């Protein structure tokens, strides 16, 4: 497939050209190559300093690892923004360069809120790197494991509906996700779904058999009879036209697991000569992202890893070993055009959180509601203090009024007592006459 030439692709190509010409076996052969290398040496050094590289990031901790690579939480040193960084050794993807490039293209070109936003893609001599939005709300598997009971049907339906929108967006880009499972459905800091891990995707027009995915979540008619492993499934040519619909089968298995905490296994049904099609009821929920999610993560900041998986080992520093397993030029040429930098208008600051987080209507409503709630709580505290002070003042006034009334009554009693004594003396005088 033809690729448009952009700035990053040209810089990749120039860097590869220079590095290959700078190799001693090649440079010694031609005087013109030595002249070229010396001519652009300082320019290339300046170019490398200006481009995004691994030294621009501070690795905070490992948050995930898979068959091909690792995912770290990282902080941009100059801006203090926090992202997820996926690193994959070039040696691991050498036989599937197109797949690695397509994964980068999905993240870079996706305009859907259901797919994490890519901020940077870059490479060094040994690894490919993707710097993307951090979904530190964790995955649905973690959400389910933290509860002592299954999700309610209403809550499960919410997450399944959002993931259906994510699948629809991916299908609209011409790709299918062949590994739909709770571990690949993450939640952003607003509590909404983000579909991740595109290492097992395929093109909708792709023919033949393709291995990938997780068998427990795969549609039975797509599990070939010779697929004996516990973790892979084969997508066969005879059902290629229904591959996209089978993603919804996997979604149904996820729905069953969310609402029961049990994983349904359909491997025994692999020999059935039928295709399960997804059927939805109740119409399409077009504004679901504007609805309040069942659960919103309580994050103390951008680096909060409370809800993220804990792989349990210390991340090793990035390797700087050269990637040189092929003849000159062939080793690095396949990765020309991999680098990417998000347009500046997409770099949205969000009050102390990472610029990679894109706020949706419900996100804004949530945080505005939180601010309003905090304001109302402050007003309530002030009002309660004022009410308490008023009550105390009223009590004091009541006590003072009572004291004044008591004193007045006491004075009246004293006056009347004296008056009575005078009257008694007058009576005694009159009686003694």
CB 186 within 8 A of CB 138: yes
Q: What is d(CA 398, CA 405) in angstroms, rounded to the nearest whole number? A: 10
Closest CA to 132 of 124, 150, 120: 120
Q: Which two tokens stand for residue 112?
A: 């859907």
Q: What is d(CA 303, CA 296) in angstroms, rounded to the nearest whole number? A: 16
CB 162 within 8 A of CB 193: yes
Contacts of 112 (CB under 8 A, 6+ apart): 165, 166, 169, 170
CB 84 within 8 A of CB 299: no
CB 213 within 8 A of CB 236: no
Cα angle 122, 116, 254; round to 5: 130
Q: What is d(CA 122, CA 338) in angstroms, rounded to the nearest whole number? A: 7
Cα angle 65, 120, 81; round to 5: 85
Q: What is the b/e burial string over 62-86, where b = at least 16 CB atoms within 10 angstroms of the residue's CB?
A: bbbbeebbbbbbbbbeeeebbbbbb
DSSP 8-state symbol, 139: B
Q: What is d(CA 351, CA 8) in angstroms, rounded to the nearest whole number? A: 30
Is 179 among the catalytic positions? yes
CB 252 within 8 A of CB 129: no
Task: Find out whether 39 is annotated in a ligand binding site.
Answer: no
Closest CA to 195 of 222, 227, 221, 172: 172
Phi-psi domain of 93 (left: phi exceeds 0; alpha: psi -120 through 50; beta: other): alpha
E-assigned strand segments in 105-235: 118-123, 127-132, 175-177, 185-187, 193-195, 201-203, 210-212, 233-235
DSSP-derived 3-state class of residue 17: helix
Q: Out of 12, 124, 139, 179, which one is annotated catalytic?
A: 179
Backbone angles phi, psi at 404, to 5 degrees: -65, -40
- Say what the alpha-carbon torsion angle 102, 103, 105, 106 is, to the nearest 10 degrees: 120
CB 192 within 8 A of CB 154: no
Q: What is d(CA 33, CA 23) in angstroms, rounded to the nearest whole number? A: 10
Binding site, annotated residues for ATP: 86
Binding site, annotated residues: 86
Active site residues: 179
């Amino acid at each position: 497939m033809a690729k448009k030439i952009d700035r990053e692709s040209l810089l990749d190509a120039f860097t590869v050209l220079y590095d290959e010409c700078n190799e001693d076996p090649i440079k010694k052969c031609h005087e013109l190559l030595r002249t070229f290398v010396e001519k652009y040496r300082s320019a290339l050094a300046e170019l490398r300093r200006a481009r995004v590289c691994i030294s621009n990031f501070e690795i905070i901790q490992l948050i995930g690892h898979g068959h091909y690579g690792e995912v770290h939480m990282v902080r941009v040193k100059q801006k203090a923004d926090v992202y997820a960084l996926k690193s994959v050794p070039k040696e691991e993807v050498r036989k599937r360069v197109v797949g690695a490039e397509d994964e980068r293209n999905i993240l870079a070109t996706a305009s859907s809120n259901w797919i994490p936003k890519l901020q940077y893609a870059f490479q060094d001599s040994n690894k490919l790197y993707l710097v993307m939005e951090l979904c530190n709300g964790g995955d649905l598997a973690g959400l389910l494991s933290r509860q002592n009971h299954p999700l309610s049907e209403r809550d499960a339906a919410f997450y399944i509906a959002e993931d259906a929108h994510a699948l629809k967006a991916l299908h609209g880009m011409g790709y299918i996700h062949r590994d739909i499972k709770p571990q690949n459905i993450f939640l952003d800091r607003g509590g909404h779904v983000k579909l991740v891990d595109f290492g097992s995707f395929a093109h909708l027009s792709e023919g033949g058999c393709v291995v990938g995915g997780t068998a427990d979540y795969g549609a039975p008619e797509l599990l070939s009879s010779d697929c004996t492993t516990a973790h892979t499934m084969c997508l066969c040519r005879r059902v290629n036209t229904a591959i996209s619909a089978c993603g919804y089968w996997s979604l149904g298995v996820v729905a069953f697991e969310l609402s029961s905490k049990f994983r349904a296994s359909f491997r025994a049904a692999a020999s059935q000569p039928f295709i399960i099609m997804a059927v939805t009821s109740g119409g399409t929920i077009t504004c679901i992202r504007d609805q309040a999610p069942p659960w919103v993560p309580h994050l103390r900041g951008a680096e909060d890893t409370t809800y993220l998986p804990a792989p349990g080992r210390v991340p090793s520093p990035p390797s700087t070993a050269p990637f040189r397993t092929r003849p000159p030029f062939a080793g690095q040429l396949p990765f020309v055009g991999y680098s990417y930098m998000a347009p500046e208008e997409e770099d949205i600051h969000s009050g102390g959180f990472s610029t990679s987080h894109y706020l949706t209507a419900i996100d804004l409503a949530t945080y505005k509601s939180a601010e309003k709630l905090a304001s109302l709580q402050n007003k309530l505290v002030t009002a309660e203090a004022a009410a308490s002070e008023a009550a105390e003042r009223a009590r004091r006034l009541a006590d003072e009024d009572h004291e004044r009334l008591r004193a007045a009554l006491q004075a009246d009693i004293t006056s009347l007592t004296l008056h009575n004594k005078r009257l008694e003396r007058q009576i005694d005088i009159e009686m003694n006459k």
